[in-house]
Amino acid sequence: MIETFTQQNSELFDEQNNEEETAMKNFTKEEHLFYEQLKPALNKLIKNPSEESINRILKYSKSL
């Protein structure tokens, strides 16, 4: 029998946030401002993928 382990989304989210905070401590002020301006656009891409992206994913999954 094979046992599997899946982390809860909140655990993964917390881990990602910690990594992001650690990385941002090394940013210069200019880099931090640039990231903060870019962050909303990046978040939008994650939440609302384009039709092209969705079609590529569907095409790939059908090819398996």
Summarised one tens digit per residue, pLDDT across range 8-57 is: 555 655 666 677 777 767 888 888 888 888 888 888 777 777 888 888 88
CB 47 within 8 A of CB 39: no
pLDDT at 2 over 70: no
pLDDT at 5 over 70: no
Question: In the prediction, which pLDDT does 7 show?
Answer: 53
Question: In the prediction, which pLDDT does 20 show?
Answer: 72
Question: In the prediction, which pLDDT does 15 show?
Answer: 66
Residues 6+ apart with CB under 8 A from 35: 24, 27
CB 35 within 8 A of CB 24: yes
pTM: 0.36
List Cα–Cα distances, 47 to 3, 24, 42, 62, in angstroms. Answer: 31, 22, 9, 23
CA distance 8 to 6: 6
